[in-house]
Amino acid sequence: MKNRKILYALGFCAAIVSFAQNLYVPLMPEIQKELHTSLYMVNLSITLFTIALAVLQIVYGPLIDRIGRKKILLPGMILYVLATIGCSFSFSIEMLLGFRLLQGIGAAAVPLVAATMIGDLFDGKERAESMATYQMILGIAPAIGPLIGGAIGSVAGYSGAFGFLAVTAFLMLLVVIFVLPETGPVSVHSKRLDLGSFARIFKNRTGSSVLLTGFVLYDVFYTLIVFLPIILKDGYRLSVAQIGLASMLLMAFSLIGSKLSGTLQAKIGSAKSLILTFSCVIIGLILFIITAKMSLIALLITLGFIGFFCGLTMSALPTLLSAEFVKERATAIGVYNFVRYLGMAAAPMLGSLLYFYGGVTLLIGITALLVGVAVVFSSVQLGLMLKKRDRAKGTF
């Protein structure tokens, strides 16, 4: 029971911090007007936050393994709270950009420590189910963040939205101080950073499979998030509100898949679950190409199908890493987080070129091909690994 309380505390800490990525997206025009700047500079505030979030994953990971989980989490959350207050009181775009960078640096510690501590506290089937629950809680943030930001911003402006972030983050900081225990480092022989651990993660069969799959999975998910509004507007002339509901459908089915992922992994194992569910994403993407111009209802059903199986895949990845890398758990999850953030960043850049030259067919077709490559690679890597383990146990 105590561990379950810790799980929910970690999940909500990560979700609160995740709000900073998209809570103020509906308020970007107001920020541009209030700070007398360009839309490009306002967009840069999102880019800087995301870059800091990504890069610090591979910095914090080894530190968390050697110094401790809570010893990194506390300073990170304190910095996040202070930087968020700074964002709220920023009177120029330069101030906002600076505080957003600091906000990203502080925020980067939270999801990394959360996933690592879940790996520390749970084993076997419980770890898979706990990762699934954590992924579901974390997935709530991008789904409702813009709604909350729009509601608060309509009353209190962008300062109020950042104020809301600061207050909620401070409350979660108190939870970290008084509720969360120190669960690591697990067992290390040296306090010095071992850069060779990064190479070991990439060379490891499980590590390489998870990293490639994570990159492609989040490229798929964010390709749909970025280009769905364009596809629906061009093909079906939907309003902004209707497009928002379609995007919510993708998020909702992803959350359902995340929640059920633990049960599936408990039954067939995380490796088989990963290969099975990601294979189903290929089917969904092919159906998406077929239904994109055929029928809005069929397109929405396909969208829910893809979201569901993406959600099923998401929590299997950190579960596999947590089981494979015990002494370097935070480092492995940090590298994974860094790679999946690269997948998010690649989606709009690669997707823009594909959509420009070949529309939906080329965009989703290449995306499906990438998923296929990841599935084949993971099947070979994880399949060979499982065979070796079976031989070691004397089973065939």
Could you give the count of Cα atoms lying within 13 Å of 357 in the half-sphere of its Cβ?
9
For 36, other C-beta atoms within 10 Å of its C-beta total: 8
Which of 178, 207, 222 lies at the terminal end of a domain, its last residue? Answer: 178
* Residue 172 shares a structural domain with residue 210: no
Q: Which residue has the tokens 């379609």?
A: 246
| Residue 198 backbone class (left: φ over 0; alpha: ψ -120 to 50; beta: rest) | alpha
Q: What integer pLDDT is reported at residue 392 of this predicted model?
A: 46
Is residue 185 assigned to a domain?
no
Rounded distance between C-alpha atoms, residue 31 and residue 37, angstroms: 8
Average pLDDT per block of 10 residues along the chain, 396 residues long: 83 85 75 84 83 91 89 94 93 93 93 91 87 85 75 83 90 88 63 70 94 96 87 82 80 90 92 95 96 92 96 92 89 92 86 91 96 96 60 42
Give the whole-angstrom CA distance, residue 86 versus residue 175: 22
Q: Are 228 and 370 within one domain?
A: yes
Statement to judge: residues 174 and 131 lie in one domain: yes
Domain that holds residue 157: 2-178
Confidence (pLDDT) at 193: 54
Neighbouring residues of 177: CB distance < 8 A, sequence distance ≥ 6: 74
Same domain as 214, residue 162: no
Q: Are residues 149 and 226 in the same domain?
A: no
Indicate if 160 and 216 belong to the same structural domain.
no
Residues 209 and 314 grouped into a single domain: yes
Res 394: pLDDT? 42
Instruction: Give the integer Cα–Cα distance in Å for 72 and 101.
Output: 18
Q: Angle, nearest 10°, between helix axes 270-291 and 329-393? A: 110
User: Looking at this protein, which amino acid is placed at residue 63?
Assistant: L
DSSP line for 75-98: HHHHHHHHHHHHHHT--SHHHHHH
Task: Give phi and psi for 92, each to the nearest 5.
Answer: -150, 160
Report the CATH number that the domain containing residue 161 is assigned in CATH.
Answer: 1.20.1250.20
What pLDDT is attached to residue 360? 94
Q: Which of 178, 213, 234 is the last residue of a domain?
A: 178
Residue 304 domain-assigned (yes or no): yes
**Does some domain include residue 191?**
no
Chain length of the chain = 396
Residues 92 and 51 in one domain: yes
SS3 at position 305: helix
Transcribe 298-341 into DSSP letters: HHHHHHHHHHHHHHHHHTHHHHHHHHH-STTHHHHHHHHHHHHH
Domain co-membership, 128 together with 223: no
In a domain, 114, yes or no: yes
Task: Report the pLDDT value the prediction gives residue 289, as an integer from 0 to 100.
Answer: 95
Residues 161 and 221 in one domain: no
The pLDDT, as a whole number, for residue 387 is 52
Instruction: Tell me how far CA of residue 86 lies from CA of 103, 111, 125, 234, in angstroms.
Output: 9, 22, 42, 40
pLDDT of residue 276: 95
Q: Supply the pLDDT for residue 117.
A: 92
Number of domains in the chain: 2
* Residues 158/31, Cβ–Cβ less than 8 Å: yes
| Distance, first Cα to last Cα, the chain | 39
Q: Which residue has the tokens 């700047």?
A: 37
Token pair in block for residue 324: 């494979």
Domain annotation covers residue 377: yes
Residue 249 belongs to some domain of the structure: yes
Residue 200 and residue 172 in one domain: no
Residues 68 and 15 occupy one common structural domain? yes
Contacts for 362-368: CB closer than 8 Å, 24+ residues apart: 363/223, 363/227, 364/223, 364/285, 364/288, 364/289, 364/292, 365/285, 365/289, 367/219, 367/220, 367/223, 367/285, 368/282, 368/285, 368/286, 368/289
> Is residue 184 domain-resident?
no
Q: Is 189 a domain residue?
A: no
Distance of CA 111 to the CA centre of its chain: 9
